[in-house]
Structure 1
Amino acid sequence: MSEVLRNAHFVVTVDHTARFVRVARTAEPFDSIEQIEQECQEIAEALAFFDRSALSLLLDIRAAPGRNDRRFEDATLRLRTAAVRGFARVAVLVRTSAGALQVQRHGREDGVHRLVSDDEDELLAYVTAAPLRLG
C-alpha cells in the first residue's frame, strides 16, 4: 500500500497490485462544512492521476464520529457523489447497523451502488475480485 494523502480526517492509500484505493476516516470531528469541502478536494486532487475505472474503492468510516444533521447531509451529498463516482466497485466498511443504514440511504440518493458491511474481509474480497469479463 502506498500512502497518497494524510490529513487530520483522512488517510488515503493505494494498493496497485490489488487495484484498490482505501480511504480511511479518522475519529477527528470536522470543525466546519468548509473544512469538509477543503479536505474532500484534497482527496480528489490526490486521486486525479489514477484511472478510477481500473480501481475499486474501499471507504473505511468505522472511526468517523456519527453525524446526520441536515446541513451536513446537504453539504456532503455533492462531495460524496464526486468521491465515489467512476470506480469499478465501491465498498463501505461501517461499525454499526445505523451507519450501514445511513450509507445505504446515501447510495439511493446519489445512485452509486455500494457494498456495505462491518466485515472487512468480505469487503476486501469484493474490491480485489477480478473484473467481470463479458463476451
Structure 2
Amino acid sequence: MREVLRNAHFVVAVDHAARLVRVTRSAEPFDSIEQIEQKCREVIAALAPVDRTVMSLLLDIRAAPGRNDPKFEEATLRLRTAAVRGFGRVAVLVQTTAGALQVRRHNREDGIDRMISDDERELLAYLAAAPPWRPR
C-alpha cells in the first residue's frame, strides 16, 4: 500500500492493485471541533484523486478514542459522508461493541452501507469480493 496521508489522527493508504483504500484512525484525541474538521478535510483531499467507483474502503477505527457528544456527531456527519460515499464497498474495523453500535447508527443516519466487524480478515475478504464496477 502507498501512503498518501499521515497526520496525528489519520493514515490514508491506497493499493491500486488490490483496489483498496485504508484509512486508519490513531488514538490521538482531537483538541477541538475545528481540528476535527481540518483533519477530516485532509482525509477527503487525500482521497480526491482516487476513483472510488473501482475501489473499496477499509476504515480501521480500533484505536479511536470513544466519543459521541452532540457537537462531535454534528461536525463529523457531513465530513464522514463525504469521505466514504462512492466506494464500491465500505468496511469498518472496530474494537468494541460500543464502536460497532455507533457505526450502525452512522449507517442509518447517512444511508451508506458498511460491513462492521472486529475481524480484519473477514472485512478484507468482503472487500476483495466487491465487483469494482458496481459502486454503492
TM range (shorter): over 0.9
Cα distance, 1:81 vs structure 2: 0.7
Aligned to 1:87: 87
SS in 2 for 1:27: coil
Hey, what's the Cα distance between the residues in 1 that align with 2:132 and 2:3?
28
Aligned to 1:63: 63
TM-score normalised over the length of structure 1: 0.95
The 4+ residue runs of structure 1 with deviation greater than 6 A are: none
TM-score normalised over the length of structure 2: 0.95
Asked if residue 110 in structure 1 is aligned to residue 110 in structure 2, the reply is: yes
Aligned to 1:15: 15
SS in 2 for 1:12: strand
Please, what is the CA RMSD of the aligned residues?
1.3
SS in 2 for 1:42: helix
Cα distance, 1:130 vs structure 2: 4.4
CA change 1:9–1:132 in 2 (3 A) is closer
Asked if residue 36 in structure 1 is aligned to residue 27 in structure 2, the reply is: no
Aligned AA for 1:36?
I
Hey, what's the Cα distance between the residues in 2 that align with 1:53 and 1:130?
11
Aligned AA for 1:107?
N
Aligned AA for 1:19?
R
CA change 1:132–1:80 in 2 (3 A) is closer
SS in 1 for 2:57: strand
Among the aligned pairs, what percent are the same residue? 75
Hey, what's the Cα distance between the residues in 1 that align with 2:131 and 2:13?
20
Tell whether the 8 Å contact from 2:53 to 2:132 is kept in structure 1 after alignment. no
The unaligned stretches of length 5 or more in structure 1 are: none
The unaligned stretches of length 5 or more in structure 2 are: none
Cα distance, 1:46 vs structure 2: 1.0
Cα distance, 1:15 vs structure 2: 1.1
Aligned AA for 2:122?
E
Hey, what's the Cα distance between the residues in 1 that align with 2:91 and 2:17?
18
SS in 1 for 2:113: coil
Tell whether the 8 Å contact from 2:56 to 2:130 is kept in structure 1 after alignment. no
Per-residue CA deviation, residues 73-112 of structure 1 (Å, 9 max, x unaligned), is 1111111111110000000000001100100000100000
